[in-house]
């Protein structure tokens, strides 16, 4: 069911539906409970020339490595975007900004997983709002240059500790290659963040599970202990 957003007052939205509301269906789906709806705002922004340039730059880097033709990989990645994000057929000439970002994300994820090199200038040109941090954490790539990387902590975890047994929940982390990790230690964390304009990600329990960070079986216990301690303060 579609409609238009015609009014906003705080967290209360007024929506004019494009067709009459079937109250019988609403009551049947609600099953005696308060009905829950999902709101998705259509992205009316069109793909920018910069996004299109990045997409084809990445595809060309891939083809330089594999020897394939760009049209082949363009169709492959479009299919992955449709399957992964549930979007209909689209063209890179007039798709939305959101779909274009999906395309970039899918391509980068593939390049990381297959260890296929691409030009650093393409990585540097990605906008700040692009989900670099999560993409790099998932693939263990440096958020600054895209090279192989390890997890870096905002607060030191201590020498000699097994990082696979650390409870990451509540910690602030990012992925840095050896070169940038060394630079971080020499400069100090705050100066390093100011230089590169990056912010680490705070690990939630869901993120820890999604990225397989630490011993997940102990995460919930640690989280419960933290909540208990906070309640006692």
Asked if the structure places residue 81 within a domain, the reply is no
Asked if the structure places residue 214 within a domain, the reply is yes
Host domain of residue 178? 139-233
Asked if the structure places residue 62 within a domain, the reply is no
d(CA 220, CA 205): 7
Residue from 114, 95, 115 nearest 55 by CA: 95
Asked if the structure places residue 172 within a domain, the reply is yes
* Residue 225: pLDDT over 80: no
Cβ partners under 8 Å of residue 200, min gap 6:
133, 152, 154, 172, 173, 174, 193
d(CA 158, CA 153): 10
Report the pLDDT averaged over residues 101-117.
91
pLDDT at 2: 77
Count of structural domains within the chain: 1
Asked if the structure places residue 181 within a domain, the reply is yes
pLDDT at 208: 83
Contact 144, 198 (CB under 8 A): yes
**What confidence tens digit (pLDDT) does each residue in 136-161 have?**
888 889 988 888 898 887 765 544 45
Give strand pairing partners of 148: 141
**What confidence tens digit (pLDDT) does each residue in 48-66 have?**
999 999 999 999 999 999 9
Q: How far is CA 222 from CA 70, 151, 161, 168, 227, in A?
A: 49, 20, 17, 10, 9
Report the pLDDT averaged over residues 85-102.
95
Give strand pairing partners of 152: 174
Residue 149 backbone phi and psi in degrees, to 5: -150, 165
Report the pLDDT averaged over residues 19-44.
81
Asked if the structure places residue 176 within a domain, the reply is yes
Torsion from C-alpha of 93, 101, 125, 188, nearest 10 degrees: 170
Asked if the structure places residue 60 within a domain, the reply is no
Look at 32 and 164; give whichever has higher pLDDT: 32
* Residue 47: pLDDT over 90: yes
> What does pTM read for this prediction?
0.64
Asked if the structure places residue 201 within a domain, the reply is yes
């Amino acid at each position: 069911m579609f409609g238009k957003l015609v009014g906003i007052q705080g967290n209360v939205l007024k929506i004019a539906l494009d067709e009459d509301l079937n109250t019988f269906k609403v009551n049947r789906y609600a099953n005696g409970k308060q009905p829950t709806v999902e709101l998705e705002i259509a992205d009316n922004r069109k793909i920018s020339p910069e996004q299109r340039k990045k997409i084809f730059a990445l595809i060309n880097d891939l083809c330089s490595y594999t020897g394939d033709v760009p049209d082949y990989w363009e169709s492959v990645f479009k299919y992955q975007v449709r399957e992964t994000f549930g979007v209909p057929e689209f063209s890179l000439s007039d798709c939305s900004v959101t779909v274009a970002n999906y395309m970039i994300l899918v391509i980068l994820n593939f390049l990381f997983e297959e260890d296929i090199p691409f030009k650093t200038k393409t990585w540097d040109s990605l906008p700040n709002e692009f989900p670099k941090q999560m993409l790099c954490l998932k693939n263990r790539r440096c958020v600054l240059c895209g090279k192989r990387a390890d997890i870096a902590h905002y607060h030191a975890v201590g020498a000699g500790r097994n990082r696979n047994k650390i409870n990451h929940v509540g910690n602030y982390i990012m992925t840095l290659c050896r070169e940038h990790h060394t630079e971080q230690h020499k400069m100090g964390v705050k100066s390093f963040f100011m230089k590169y304009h990056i912010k680490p990600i705070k690990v939630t329990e869901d993120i820890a599970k999604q990225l397989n960070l630490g011993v997940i079986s102990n995460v919930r216990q640690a989280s419960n202990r933290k909540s208990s301690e906070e309640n006692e303060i």
